[in-house]
A and B are shown apart, each in its own frame.
Chain A
Amino acid sequence: MTTQAPPKAVDGAIGFLDERFGTAGFLRGKMKKVFPDHWSFMLGEIALYSFIILLATGTFLTLWFKPSMSEVVYNGHYTKLVGVHMSEAYNSTLRISFDVRGGLLMRQIHHWAAVMFVASLTVHMLRVFFTGAYRKPREVNWLIGLGLFTLALLEGLFGYSLPDDLLSGTGLRITQGVMQSIPLVGTYLFYFAFGGDFPGHDFIPRLYTVHVLLIPGILLALVGAHFMILWHQGHTQFPGKNRAQKNVIGKPFYPVFMIKAGAFFMFTFAVIAFLGTFAQINPIWLFGPYTPDSITAGSQPDYYMGFLEGALRIMPNWETNLWGHTVSWNVLVPALVPLGLIMTGAALWPFIEQWATGDKRIHHIADRPRNAPFRTAVGMTAVTFYGLLWLAGGNDVIADKFHVSLYATTWFFRFAIFIGPVIAYNVTKRICLGLQKKDADIVHHGVESGVIMRLPNGEFIEVHEPASDEQKAVLTGKDPLPELAIEAEDENGIPSPSARGPLGKLRKNLNRAFTVDDVPADGHDEGHDDTSPHAEEELQPGGVEPGGTGGSRAISHH
């Protein structure tokens, strides 16, 4: 294969590039770059492909969209709006929807891709968090990812606001109201951003530039950096047979991973095109043009802003007036605290973990979530917190569809937002411990085969098969945390200076939280000789049918 010369045309092209850029030498090693395979490693790719789709369809939309708030009278093909005064932005969006062939499809694909972009960023981020893939050396890429996520939220909000329909205008109105409530500079920010009174005539053109140029530019740069760092550092892999910190097992980039990625791009595009065809999104012609005196029931932002909306809804109406100045806690707290808690917490987490555990090692093996119960539980706490706020953002739809009292839903969320995360923390920790115990059990006693055997004394037992080497490698693949040096005491039993004081105590407590729930999975499988190579050999031929009927092999072979 390697001795054969490539076809002439290809050789010519390769030669052309190589003589000018030295591509062959550069790419020689890169082509074989190994990527580990796991479905959860592809979640970030969904985001990447959604982003590409967003760029392509967005460019298409700019060809017709007019980011102007000048008033025009509609005279298009949607009869129910003929003669209605509206902004040029809304008018041109109607035109894209009804007068440009494929325009409605592209608009819907653009919007669905935005929904999928943020959704996939979220699940990708959760995967990275729960598997500890943000640990050294990947902290910087984690931070870049958080930056991408934050910008994606903003980008989505701005895009949602551009068509100037009733819902997007309401969203802008809320944004403006929040802006106005910022202490000291709020009104100035508002008047500068809007170029005068709300809604004014400047905001949508300004938003447009930010939406189509500024943020996508930064996103593109960050995506590039994110991907280059990933390429340079290599992807993490889950524990398994032969897998180690020092190696990576998988198929090479060229030709396998390349085509897999291509296929996955096509799948992502297909699903988004499917949604764009069969599920109507943001029907702006039904909403009507924005006027500040109109409103619709069920005024909601897109889902990714839902948690902020939920926070605004369940916040009690606190406001203080001191020395002639008003501070609106009822707006400021929900606008800043949830997002601040989640994003700051996420940004600091890798460093907090390093500090608390003293773990400065390089990690290329991803944790299984159960093996890091504290991290997993904290993660689920955040997920529950976010999820409850998200649901609270749709409490009117919940109240309407399930016929419960609107105020009851608000009260429920007011309490649930504090109780829910606590429950989630404890339940998650229990589950993790249970799973760890089960793992240890499998390592020591094997897996249930589904075969019931009757002993001579009449007792029924289920035959356990020894776990496979591979399975054992997975189960025992956890990496115990190193002991923290600060816990050392000197000969008089006095803790070292670094362990004293509030910070030292906090560190000690955190360290305990990180390390306490660990059920060792390995270490004592002596006495179980059923893992001998002999047994393995015997089992192999029967390894086709994992079902109950095939399970008898273990007995018949022994």
Chain B
Amino acid sequence: MKWITAWRRRPWAGYAVVLAALAIIGVAYAGVSPRTDRAQAAAAAASDQDVAKGKQLFNQACSSCHGANAEGTKNAPSLLGVGAASVDFQVSTGRMPAMNLGAQIPRKKPVFNEEQTRQIAAYIASLGGGPAIPSKDQVDPANGDAAMGGKLFRANCAQCHNFAGSGGALTGGKYAPPLTKATPEQIYEAMLTGPQAMPVFNDTTLTPAQKRAIIAYVTQTRSEPNPGGNGLGRVGPVAEGLAGWLVGLGLIIIAAMWITARKPKKKHNV
């Protein structure tokens, strides 16, 4: 271990350690890449039993904010007429029931399982209609035209969610979330109902086929590998500049230090 002792005494050892640490942090950070997981929500016909069960669940978990009859309170909006699609989106992404009301309610692990979610949605739908949960076929990425979807995505979605669906900043601490975890159903429901700050794209403006095209584009893009190496979070040139300075310049300067360093001399008194 003598060489370590010798090296760390060198004038540049401090810089080298800092650079190496920065490089490692940079690489490690870049290594955290988006992952995909898909949950499939089953859309089944709502029965009276579902509605009753849903009402029960609603009273336990939602009524304190949304009111006993979902008429809304000063803390939360009325749910009359928001439709099953909206409930399914909010509950299945874990946003509802909300824990605390910050600038924006984040996605988290869902509290209710698929069946319970469907029951609450059925109850809310029974109060005043609204958009329904899309069918499996409506959101099947395999049937979507990804090229058309890409075009629509760039014209209507990328300004907030970024070119690869990596998300982006909005005002006042709000943000457009990354689309890495959203299921096809959730993407469809989000476009249809416009949760939180997101605007609404109803079925007469963007037809169901066009929505399916966007879903196809989003799901293909997020699952497609990065042919050029690590995607650096797919956030564009900011990450690239960081990598260039920390990793690129860092490594080359370490090489320069090695080339110009004095040979560590051993004692020779022969």
Contact = CB atoms under 8 A, between A and B. Distances in A.
Interface in B134-168: 146-148, 150-151, 154-155, 158-164, 166-168
A260 interface: yes
A84 interface: yes
Of all A-B residue pairs in the complex, the 6 with the closest CB atoms, nearest first, are A303-B241, A297-B168, A280-B228, A115-B244, A267-B255, A399-B169
A298 B238 contact: yes
B235 interface: yes
27 contacts: A39-B261, A41-B260, A43-B253, A81-B150, A83-B148, A97-B227, A115-B244, A120-B252, A123-B249, A276-B229, A278-B229, A283-B226, A288-B154, A291-B155, A295-B158, A296-B154, A296-B236, A298-B163, A302-B241, A303-B240, A303-B245, A397-B235, A399-B169, A400-B168, A405-B173, A406-B170, A545-B2
Contacts of B176: 297
Interface-central residue, A116, A276, A394, A397, by most chain B CB under 10 Å = A397
Contact of A271 (B103, B220, B255): B255
B169 A39 contact: no
B251 interface: yes
Contact of B259 (A40, A42, A280, A303): A42
B9 to A, nearest CB: 4
A280 B228 CA distance: 4
Contact of A166 (B12, B154, B171, B248): B154
Interface in B182-227: 217, 220-221, 224, 226-227
B220 to A, nearest CB: 6
- Is chain B's interface secondary structure helix, strand, loop, or mixed overall? helix
B169 A406 contact: yes
B257 interface: yes
Interface string A79-111: 111111000000000000110000010001000
A275 B227 contact: no
Interface of B: 2, 5-6, 9, 12, 30, 103, 146-148, 150-151, 154-155, 158-164, 166-173, 175-176, 217, 220-221, 224, 226-232, 234-238, 240-245, 247-249, 251-253, 255-257, 259-261, 265-267, 269
Given A104-B228, A281-B228, A302-B241, A275 B248 contact: yes
A347 B4 CA distance: 43
B227 to A, nearest CB: 6
A264 B172 contact: no
A30 to B, nearest CB: 22
Given A108-B228, A303-B241, A286 B5 contact: no
A275 B171 CA distance: 34
Interface of A: 37-43, 46, 79-84, 97-98, 104, 108, 112, 115-116, 119-120, 123, 166-167, 260, 263-264, 267-268, 271-272, 274-283, 286-288, 291, 293-304, 306, 394, 396-397, 399-400, 403-407, 541, 543-547
A279 B30 contact: yes
B235 to A, nearest CB: 5
Contact of B260 (A37, A279, A286): A37
A546 B9 CA distance: 7
B234 A286 contact: yes
B243 A547 contact: no
B12 A39 contact: yes
Contact of B244 (A264, A291, A296, A303): A303
